[in-house]
Every structure is written in C-alpha cells, then in structure tokens.
Structure 1
Amino acid sequence: MSLLLQAIFARADHDGDRTALDDGSRQLLYRDLPNAVAAMAGTIRDAIPGFGPVAIELDNGIDWVIADLALLSLGRPNIPLPAFFTKEQRAAALANAGAVGSITVAGIILFDHAIAAVPPGAAKISYTSGSTGDPKGICLDDRLMLQTAQAILARLGEDFAGIHFPILPLAVLLENVAGLYATLLAGGRYLVRSAAAIGLANPFAIDDAQLVTAIEASNATSLILVPEYLACIVDRLERTGVRLDQLRLVAVGGSRVPLSLIDRADRAGLPVVQGYGLTECGSVVSLEAFGERDRGTVGHPLDHVAVSLASDGEIVIAGHFHLGTVGDARVDGPILTGDIGAIDGQGRLSIIGRKSSLIITSFGRNVAPEWIEEQLVAQPQIAQAMVYGDGETMLRALIVPSAPDADIAAGVAAANAALPAYAQIGLWQASRPFTPAHATLTPNGRLRRAAILDRLATRPFFERLCAETGPARARLFSVPQLQAGLAGRISLATYLAYLAQAYHHVRHTVPLMRLARSGLMAKSMLVEALDDYIAEEEGHEQWILNDIRAAGGDADAVVLDGPSPATACMVDHAYATLRDGNPAAFFGMVFVLEGTSIALASNGAEAVRASLGLPHTAFTYLTSHGALDQDHMRFFETLMNRLTDPADQDAIVAMANDIFDLFGGLFAAIAMEDDRAAA
C-alpha cells in the first residue's frame, strides 16, 4: 500500500472518532476513511481494469478526496484536472498521459488513448500549465508527497490543523499536498466545499462577499491562497471591517506577494506566512514560521530539501524529487529552478525573479520584472501586471485594472514614484485578465510571459482599442447625467438640453469627416470608409432639430444659443487634432460617439420616452442612429482590424481616450435640477 495512505490511515487508530472530511451536509470520521476508500477503489477497479492513469474531473468535495486516496490504494497514477482547463487543454493532458479513464460527476468515462511512458512509481501526474501545444505531465511518487506534507507539519506543528478550508481547487498540487494531505496527517478536519458555494464559480471573477462570508461561517483555522485571492479577501475586510479572528494560519504561495499586501493583511488581522515551491519538488520547498516579522522572505527551507544558490543567483534545490515527465524519466538529483534568489544571514530564502524573464535594457541595466510588477499590483487601481521591454530604452507594462473605472495612470505613477529611474514604467496599456483558462497564467498564479506576449502580438487592433480605452469609457458612463438617461430617469428639460448639445456636435460630424478625408488621400481604405460615412451622416443634425420640436422645445433658439463651453471644447479638440496631428485619429471619435449612441438607443431612449409620455417622433435621432450605428460598429471593427500602421493605431487610441473624457464633460455640464421630480 502507498506509504502516504498508510500514514493517513494511521489516524484511524488514534483519532477514529474525529471528523476527517466535511462538506457541510456529509461527514466522514477518520475510522470510516479506510472503508470509503476501499469501496471507491473497488468501483474504479471494476470500471477501469488494468493499471493505466486515471483522471479526476470533479469539483472540490469529499468525492474528490476519496477518489484521490482510492487511486493511491490501487497504485494507479492520478491525473488531477482543474475545471478551468479548456476543452483543448484537457484533451491534450489526457492524451499525453495515456489516460484510460476519468472520474467525473456523471460517472466514470473510459478512454482509448495510446499507452504513455509513465515513470514507474508515479502516483500523480500534474499538468501545471495545461498547455495545449506540448503539455508536460510532471510525475510524482507518494514518497515525495508524504515527505513534503510531513515537512510542512514539522515547520508549523500539528496544532495548525484544526479546520482547514480549501479555497484553491484540489487539482492544484499546492492544495492537494499542503492542504489535504497535511491536514489528514495531522488529524485535522478538512472542511471542503464546492467552488460555487464559496464564491468561486468563476475562479477568475471572485465573489468576495460570498468568499469572506463562507470563510467566516466555516470557523476555519487555516487557508492556503494565491496572492490574488489574498488581495481580494484583504480588500473585502478593509471595506467592511469584518475580521476573521478564528484563523490561525493563512499560507500564501504561487507567486510573489507584495510587501504592502502583507502589511495590509497584518492590519486586517490575517496571520499570513509566505511560502515557495515547485511542482517538481512536490509543492512547498520553503515556508515562513509563525511569528516571523522580518518580512520579505519565504522563510527557511523545509527539512526534506537543501537549498543553495548557483554563481548567477539561480536557486538550486537538492533532495528526492519528481520522477520526470511523461515519456522522459529522470535520475534523481538537484533541481535547477530557473528562479533567482537570495539567502540572508539567518538562512532564509528570498525570491527575486525568474532567470528567464530577466530584462536587460538598452542601457545595460538588469531588471527583474517581478520586482516592478510587485510595485504595480500593490496599487489599488491595478489587479495584474506584466512588465517587459528586453533590449528597449524604456520598460513597458500590460496592466489589468482592478475595476472598469480604475485610474491606471495614477496607479502606474504611484508605482514609479517608489522605483529608481531605470526601473520605471515608460509605456503601458490595459489588458484583458491573465488566467489559466487563456494559458496566460499557471494554476498557481505565475505569469506565462511568452504566451502573454504572443497574445499581445497577434490580437486584433479593435480588441486593443477596446482594452486601452476601457477606463475612459467607464468614466464616461459613470457621469450621473448619462446614467440617469440610460435608466430613463431624466426630466423633459434635461432631455431637451441633451438634444441641444447633440445638435451642436453632430452638425460638425460631416465637416470633420471631410477634413480627415483631405489628410488621408494616400490611404484609400480609410478614404472609402469616410465616403460611406459622409453619405450616411449628411443631414443628421436636422433629425435632432425635428426631435426638439416634437418634444415641445424651441429648435430655432437652440441654433441661435450655440454650444455649451464643454461641447465647444470637444469639437475644437477634434478640429485641432485633425489639422495638426494624424487625421486617422478621427476614427477614435467615431468609436466613442457610435458606441455611446448604441447604448443610449438600446437602453435609454424608450425608457425616457415612456417616462416623459413623449411621442416616438421626439426620438428619431436616438432610435434611428442607434440602429444605424450597430451596423456601423460591425463595419468599424472590420475596418480597424485591417489597419496595420502603428502610427494610425496610436492616434486612434489617443483620440478615443480624449473624446471619452470630453464627451463626459459635455454630459456633466447638462443641468439636472428638475430630474428628481421627473423620477
């Protein structure tokens, strides 16, 4: 029998009446574990004869744990597959490992894969990245997993294992070994819930309220988190004043943890310890001890490993480790981690960055991007960041905002203020989130830099335009006047005031198009598009005057009164940009105005009409323009994705950001004094 399983079952003799597993509705005592595991082993043996690898594709729960232990008892390699793997990643992993079956919520599924060369003694095949191209299944034996779990207990003491509440998927090795196995070896209660039950139905869109409530209700004494989950919990505690006083241990690993986040966690009462590890080493390699106050390290190496540094600072770990990958067995020996580190006078390890990701600027300065990323994600406006720029004069960053309206520029400026000049971010752009599902993040939270840069190089320009203008768009749509219009809660006076300013910017649309066209004569694709736009847009300002009359307003007075200062500012900026800069910038204005008109037409026009009791003839501009602009936006997306000139692209992004803010100013200048009565 597996050495690991024997050690777990030994608890049945000493702590048989204690609860081992608990999912909220079902409990298993330690004395019941052997029978439950034997029953599952029999089911697997009958359904999947032979000795080939078997996958587990279950949500967190007691069934996952029992299936895992049953495979250990059978000596069958287990392939844990996280739910966030894509269909392609799942298929690649199963084929690479030669899986003969899978345990799923629907039952056991059989496969007919080619036999794979799995190293003898493999108990677990861990796919850390879920790569679809060339997946690497790291093979671990039960001796390594037992040594790792025992070493964690030796560092922390068995007292930590009161009630452990798993947040990470059990398919992630860190939770599997450091959470499940360590808890069962210590005689603790493993209080396991489904992902949806704790606010992680989508692990990359966390319901922080549900997560913190679930932790509080569980009376959990220990958690294992990645830094992003820690940040989410800390933010919730700071905003609500809730305290999770029952927690005695919050272990954080997977990637660097900003010191500022650890300080915030301390102030929020979370007993955080940092750790460092690799799948190849069975998960945890080093771990802070309780009460360490000199932050910034990942603690001393655990008892089962020896850590040293190569001449270039690379961390080298000696001990009994993984057996190799599927199809490529290895001789046991030191692991060259690829991580750059330091060891202080007390023997504690610090992680500086990845050897492969080291940036050398054109000035010859060596920069570890992780150091700068730590400063960036410490800012409240920034959720994720990746720094790059090898060989360039300035560093660049891809930034994932913490909220749609987050001021990324302010966050970057704050991070730069804490960095020396050579390490400051010179250029940045917004990005979609980095996730394992998109192969841009490992399950443990490490950036897959090459994949992110590949995505950056190949993404369509329209996608870049949407991403890099997202915060500005959010600022526009947060303007109270626009929000009230979208909800249909504005007065007649406000609606007429909006139409008046719409008239004064729409009447410049065709003249601006003609000005842009005159400067783009050498670019036939853009000229043809402008010709189509001009033909469509002629006379639309008259629609607005007709709507004003139908709504009971004075159209002639609107013409005579002229634009508000905010409207004039937006129009003047557009003319100046087209005259003095790149005329392709006009398409940035198109992106803003057409996108906004679609939102107003689809969400606001009918609500406003109904609340004010106006005829449909008072809304021809919004309703007709909304329908037209939906077609225009599809055409616009295709046009932008055909645009290859970087200068044109940059000009369009810059103009769009400017117009979002100027258009927001136009709305903000509209008086709303009477709107409370209208609502």
Structure 2
Amino acid sequence: MPTTIPGLLREAADKFASLPVLHSRGADGNLAPVTYDELRVLVDRVAAGLVAAGVQPGERVVLVSENRDEWLVADLAIQTAGAISVPLYPSLPAAQVRPLIQRVSARLVIVEDAKQLAKIDAIRAELPLVETIVVIEDGDAPADRKDVIAWAALRTSGDQHLVEVEERYAGVQPDDVATIIFTSGTTGEPKGVMLTQSNLYLNVAAAQKRITLLPGDRMVVLLPLSHAFQRIVTYLALMAACGQYYNRTLRRLMADLHEVRPTIWIIVPRMADLMKQRVVGNVAESPGLKGKIARWALNLAPAIGAAQNNGGQLGGLLKLQQGIAEALVYSKIREQLGLDQLRFAVSGGAALAIATSRWFHGIGVNLVQGYGLTENTPVVSCNPESGPVRYETIGPPVDGCEVRRSETGELLVRGPYVMAGYLDNPEATAEVIDEDGWLHTGDLVEIDPDGHIRIIGRSREIMVLASGKNVAPVAVEEQMEAQPLISRAVVFADGQNVVSALIVPEYEPLWAAVQAAAPSAERDAAGAWLESPAVRQVLDAEIAAANANLASYERVMRYTVLPRDFSLENEELTPTMKIRRTIIAEHFAAEVAAMAGVTAKQG
C-alpha cells in the first residue's frame, strides 16, 4: 500500500485507468473528461519538465493559481519530482506573497496567468532567488523572456528526463515533507505548516472511512485547492474515482451545479449561508398562492431539521407536513440549485451554525459538519455522511486521531496526522506540540461520552468583561448570525461593562422588514437609513432572539450597524472568509470605542 500522494495517484491510475477523473472545460465551453491514464502521463511529463528546469529533490516550488486542472497536475508533478509543493492563495496581494516566497527560498514559481505574473514581476527585485516563472495560460507567457516558460513548453521540455522522474518517484519517502501550507493568519503572521507524505496519505485514508466517496460520484470544487481541507478531499476523490469539476468563477457556480448535478459537495459555512439567503430571498418575493406555500415550507424546514437531529423521527403531523412540503417545494428547490442528486455535503473551515444545519436538513440536503486545522493535515473529526447527524457537534474523531480535553478545556490532538512542524520556527512548533506529541488546537471544547466533540470557543479569543466574566465571542457570534436578518457579527468585550457587536445585516431582507414595519421609511444610498429608529426596532428583535440563548453576561447590549460587509480587499477576511478580528477592530475603531464608552485612539 502506498503511503505517499504520488503513490496514491499511481495506484488509482492502475485501478481506474480508463475512468474519468477530471472534467476540463475546453475553448468551446463544453466539458471534456481526462482519464486516470491521461492524468498520470501528464503529471509525469510536467515532473520531467520541472527536472529539466533544474528543480531538485526537497526543493520548494511555489504555485499561485485559481482552481483548475493544471493546479492539481502541477501539485502532483512537484511531489512526483521529489520536491515540495507550496501553494499560495491567488487572492493575496503582492506585499503578502513576497515574504512567503522569500521564506521558502523558491527558485521556480508557477503562476496562472498574466495577472499573477504581473504580481510576481512587481516584487521580483526583492526575490533574488527566483530564476524561473512558469505561466499556465500559454498565451500569457511573454515569448521574449528567457526566465518565463509557458505551460505547454514545460510539458514537452523534459521528455528526456522521464527515466529520472521514475527514480525520483521511487525515492519519495513517507516522512518527506510533501507540502508547506501557510496558515491564513487570522491572528498574526502566517506560519508555514510542513506536512509529510504520510500525513497527507493517512489523513485521506481516514477521511474516506467517514465520508465515503464512490466511483462515479461527482464533485464541483469551489473551495480553493490551496485550502488544506479541499486539498485532502481532492486527493480522496483521486483515490475513489470521484469525478472532479473545478468551478472557475462564482458567476458560473449555479450553471456548473446544474450541468454537473454533483453527488458530493465541499463548502464552508459562508457558502451555505449565502445559498440559504438566496433561496429565502427569492421565495420572499414570490407572489400569489405559490409564494405563500413556498414561504410556509421554508418556515417549516428548521422544525423538520430539529426533529431529525441525532437520528430523531418526525411526529405524525410534522411527517405529513414534511411530505407535502417535499412534494411541492423542497424537491423543486434542490432541483433549481442543482443539488437534486446530492448524496451529502460537508462543511468545514469554520463553525456551521446549528440553524443553518437544521434548515438544510429540513429541505432534504444532507449537510454534515467536519472539523480540522492545517496543523493536523487537517481532518480531526466529522459527522458521518450516513446515519444520525448531530448538528451541534463536529462529530467524533476520525480513525487514528486521538483527542482529549485539557484541564483548561482546550482540544488536544495526537496521531499520524500532526504536522512535522512550522517552517524555520521551532519555538512556535514547541508552543503548539508538547513533549508528549499532543497538538494544542486553541479550540475550547466539550467531548460527549459517545466521543462527539462540541466547539464552544477559542482559547486565544476569550474576552474578559470588566466584571471578570469570560466571554467566548465565537459562541455569541454564532447566535447572532443564526438570525435571518444578520449576515455577520463581530463581538467585543475585553474590559467593557457589557458585550457589544458590529453587525453586518442582510441589507435587502432588512429593508423589506423595515418597509413592512414603517411603510413611510426612506432609503438613501449613503446608508443613513441604517441608523433610523425603524431599523433599530427590527434589529432589536433579532438581537433579543439571539440573546435569549445566551447567559446574561454574554448578551449583546450594544451594537452598531455597518453600511458595508467585511472584505478580502480590505484584509478584514482571510482567503477562506474567516474574520480578522484585530484588523476589523482597527478599521472600525471609532464604532468599537463608542460602544465601549471610550474615545478611540487616533492613528
């Protein structure tokens, strides 16, 4: 049995030679399959091209691209050549890319297109070690530059090195570092997580036992392949002969879902929330009897989902209502979303709100929650894709993953998936992996007698009120964001008398609610309407509903409604759409200070 990712590809290619593994969209816009045999040949030829370009075993090769077939080919080829794959999010600005390339001492960088090439060129003077840039989009590779190689040329430039590629492949060992993944940096400078070949392979094998992919399954890949969770699921799809379709742009997402009709989907909570909001928003505007029936069905969905939690059965009346709603509404919604053939979806990367889980299960979408962190390759636990699902938990640990709760309530993890360490940072490594091999996750948990894990907060994000009470902001934010008119909430409590929050509302539904409460209300483009008494009246009810599920000291007593959402461009979100609390606090310092009853410091 192979315990390396190149070995996984070779084994799968031998087993599924003629089956399609990737589906590329050609110049004509149609999808064309790539078989396992074709993928293996392509990977070997690109690996040979890398050898011809001077890439040595153990060398770090940087990859900066959006999702596409060539991303996977490049990643596999780098590893087959015995080198280390270093994927970077293509959304990162040049100023953030520069130090990462410097830290891995990369001599060769693979970029997607002219945009990414320009990014590297802008910082090239500060990257003296970079000798070669490979451009995937052949037409974007300047023909007059000796330091730039077009992808097509790379594929054919190393055929004389194919024998050496076989020798390199044979030399790849389970303990070799396979990839360096830089954390998204929600709390500071990104750290380079070093994952070995066996880390990756064994985590894939463990994940397959919990979320079983089958030959013939179809997956639309939306999460960035640079994301550790999507990377593992991509390797898992290779292992299981699950066809992969890379969504290249959100504008095409609905079209891709309709065309592919996926049986498997991997998402982050934000995507689930946006899809739910889209459905609810469309139904809210539906006229006549059909609209009334659809709204009744969607309002019923959370109750159905709640009843099904942990294998629960629907009672007589609810079962009858569910049957009617399924026939008239739910089945049609799944078809409209392109999810009518979906076996299950997995949410990871952040906490999935219980209300979101209930809603999706209510409309017949089997959405399960998993948990992991890059330092554990990343999968730690997951609810099973079949059998009882517990919405409030992240499931039990996968096979081979030991977990325990520390005296302070922190989740500790140990096993074959724990990283080799942080790149060039033994001090930081020692801070998170203790002498007994336990990885300190930073997440506060409760572990049920049956092994299910429940996240209750982040140890590093615990805030202390002036009264001395500890507040876990994530738990408060989850309650806020479970309300239909609240898109995002960022909580502050340190040193304050009460908990406060910055609120990003669902602007259109909020305006509809305001109009219903105050028909004479007016909406201005500048956003002053968000400060009106009518908006306060509507949102006060939302806040009160969320506060009802919190301890008295955890309740949000002051809030500010923001005129815009947080953004990646403003560095308020990570590439995986997690909030950067410190930066948000800086950008909205005046609002945070006003809620705390102090004067903001002027920069």
TM-score, structure 1 normalization:
0.62
Partner-residue secondary structure (3-state), 1:147:
helix
Q: How does 1:664-679 map to 2 (within 5 A)?
A: none
- Partner residue of 2:333? 242
Distance in 2 between residues matched to 1:4 and 1:319, nearest whole Å: 19
Deviation of 1:391 after TM superposition, in Å, equals 2.4
Q: Give, as a single letter, the amino acid of the residue that structure 2 aligns with 1:100.
A: R
Structure 2 match to 1:399: 503
Shift of 1:219: 1.3
Determine if the alignment matches structure 1 residue 351 to structure 2 residue 455: yes
Given candidates 570, 578, 581, the residue that maps to 1:446 is 578
1: distance between equivalents of 2:568 and 2:402?
31
Structure 2 counterpart of 1:65 = 72
Deviates more, 1:436-445 or 1:71-80: 436-445
Question: Aligned partners of 2:239, 2:85: CA distance in 1, in Å?
Answer: 20
Rate the CA distance shift 1:173–1:437 in 2: closer, same or farther, 3 A.
farther
1:372 corresponds to 2:372: no
The corresponding residue for 1:184 is 238
* Matched position secondary structure for 2:559: strand
Q: Distance in 1 between matches of 2:407 and 2:568?
A: 33
Counterparts of 1:235-314 in structure 2 under 5 Å? 235-238=277-280, 239=282, 242-243=333-334, 244-289=339-384, 290-314=386-410
Q: Give the greater-gyration-radius structure (CA).
A: 1
Q: How does 1:525-544 map to 2 (within 5 A)?
A: none
Of stretches 6-15 and 300-309 in structure 1, the one that deviates more from structure 2 is 6-15
Q: CA deviation at 1:369?
A: 1.2
- Cα distance change on mapping 1:342 and 1:9 into 2, 3 Å: same
| Residue number in structure 2 paired with 1:514 | none
* C-alpha distance in structure 2 between counterparts of 1:396 and 1:307, whole Å: 34
**Cα shift readout 1:421-476 (whole Å, capped 9, x = no counterpart):** 3221111123443344443333344333233223333x7x8x999xx9xxxxxxxx
Rounded Cα–Cα distance in structure 2 between residues aligned with 1:211 and 1:429: 33
Q: TM-score, normalised by structure 2?
A: 0.69
Select which of 151, 155, 161 maps to 2:210.
Answer: 155
Aligned to 1:412: 543
Contact 1:54 1:100 in 2 (8 A): yes
- In structure 2, the CA distance between the partners of 1:135 and 1:294, relative to structure 1 (3 Å rule), is closer
* Aligned counterparts, 1:196-235, within 5 A: 196=249, 198-199=250-251, 210-235=252-277
Q: Is 1:323 matched with 2:420?
A: yes
Contact 2:48 2:81 in 1 (8 A): no
1:92 corresponds, among 99, 113, 118, to 99
CA distance in 2, matches of 1:416, 1:131: 26
Is it true that 1:422 corresponds to 2:553 in the alignment? Answer: yes
Give SS of 2:25's match. coil
Pick the aligned partner of 1:32 from 38, 42, 49: 38
* Letter of the structure 2 residue corresponding to residue 127 of structure 1: F
The alignment status of 1:381 with 2:485, answered yes or no, reads yes
Q: CA deviation at 1:2?
A: 7.3
Query: Offset of 1:27 from its aligned partner?
Result: 2.3
Q: Which has the higher contact order (CA 8 A, sep 6+)?
A: 2
Distance 2:354 2:593 in 1: 32
Tell me the alpha carbon deviations over residues 584-627 of structure 1, each in whole angstroms, 9 at most, x when there is no partner.
Answer: xxxxxxxxxxxxxxxxxxxxxxxxxxxxxxxxxxxxxxxxxxxx
3-state SS, counterpart of residue 270 of structure 1: coil
> Hey, what's the Cα distance between the residues in 1 that align with 2:23 and 2:482?
36
Q: CA deviation at 1:344?
A: 0.6
**CA–CA separation in structure 2 for the residues paired with 1:94 and 1:63:** 20
User: Greater helix percent: which structure?
Assistant: 1
Conserved in 1, the CA contact under 8 Å of 2:4 and 2:200? Answer: no
- What is the CA-CA distance between 1:143 and the residue it aligns to? 1.0
| Segment drifting more, 216-225 vs 99-108 | 99-108
User: How far is 1:114 from its partner?
Assistant: 5.8
Question: 8 Å contact 1:9–1:33 — kept in the other structure?
Answer: no
**Closer, same or farther: CA 2–299 of 1 in aligned 2, 3 Å:** closer
Conserved? CA contact 2:411–2:445, under 8 Å: yes
Once residues 261 and 191 of structure 1 are traced to their aligned partners in structure 2, the CA distance between those partners, rounded to angstroms, is 26
Q: Distance in 2 between matches of 1:434 and 1:139?
A: 30
Mapped contact 1:300–1:347 kept (Cα < 8 A): yes
Q: Deviations over 1:199-223 (max 9, x none)?
A: 2xxxxxxxxxx53342232111111
Q: Show the 5 A alignment for 1:441-480.
A: 441-457=573-589
Q: Match of 2:257, as an amino acid?
A: I
Worse overlay, 318-327 or 298-307? 318-327
Counterpart amino acid of 2:206?
Answer: A
Deviations 1:69-127, CA, capped at 9 Å, x for gaps: 00110121111111221221111221222222211134887974569xxxx83221111
Work out the CA distance in 2 between the residues paired with 1:359 and 1:12.
51
* Aligned partner letter, 2:245: L
Q: Does the 8 A contact of 1:164 with 1:222 survive in 2?
A: yes
Q: Secondary structure at the residue paired with 1:247?
A: coil
- Give the match for residue 7 of structure 2: 6
Q: Which amino acid aligns with 1:219?
A: R
Separation in 2, partners of 1:90, 1:299? 35
Distance 1:364 1:105, change over 3 A: closer
CA 122–449 in structure 1, closer or farther in 2 if over 3 Å, else same:
same
Does the 8 Å contact 1:318/1:334 carry over to 2?
Answer: yes
Q: Percent identity?
A: 28
Q: Deviations over 1:616-648 (max 9, x none)?
A: xxxxxxxxxxxxxxxxxxxxxxxxxxxxx959x
In the TM superposition, residue 319 of structure 1 has moved relative to its aligned partner by: 1.1
2:186 touches 2:580 (CA, 8 Å); kept in 1? Answer: no
59-68 or 4-13, which deviates more: 4-13
1:82 aligns with 2:89: yes
Change (3 A) 1:68 1:234: same
Secondary structure in structure 1 of the residue aligned to 2:86: strand
Residue-pair matches, total = 452
Is the CA contact (8 Å cut-off) linking 1:234 and 1:268 kept in structure 2?
no
RMSD: 3.0
The equivalences for 1:328-339 within 5 A come to 328-329=425-426, 333-339=437-443
* 2:466 corresponds to which of 314, 338, 362: 362
- CA deviations 1:560-597 (Å, max 9, x no partner) are xxxxxxxxxxxxxxxxxxxxxxxxxxxxxxxxxxxxxx
Task: Report the Cα offset of residue 45 of structure 1.
Answer: 2.4
Return closer, same or farther for 1:49/1:145 CA change in 2, 3 Å cut-off. closer
Q: 1: distance between equivalents of 2:89 and 2:53?
A: 22
Q: Secondary structure at the match of 2:456?
A: strand
The 1:148–1:372 alpha-carbon spacing in structure 2 relative to 1, beyond 3 Å, is: same
The residue correspondences of 1:121-160 to structure 2 (distance < 5 A) are: 121-129=176-184, 134-159=189-214
Q: 2:55·2:83 contact (CA, 8 Å) conserved in 1?
A: no
Q: Is the 8 A contact 1:276 1:286 kept in 2?
A: yes
The CA deviation string for residues 235-261 of structure 1, in whole angstroms up to 9 with x for no partner, is: 334435521221112100111111111
How much has 1:404 moved relative to structure 2?
6.1
Give the whole-Å Cα distance in 2 for the aligned partners of 1:456 and 1:385. 13
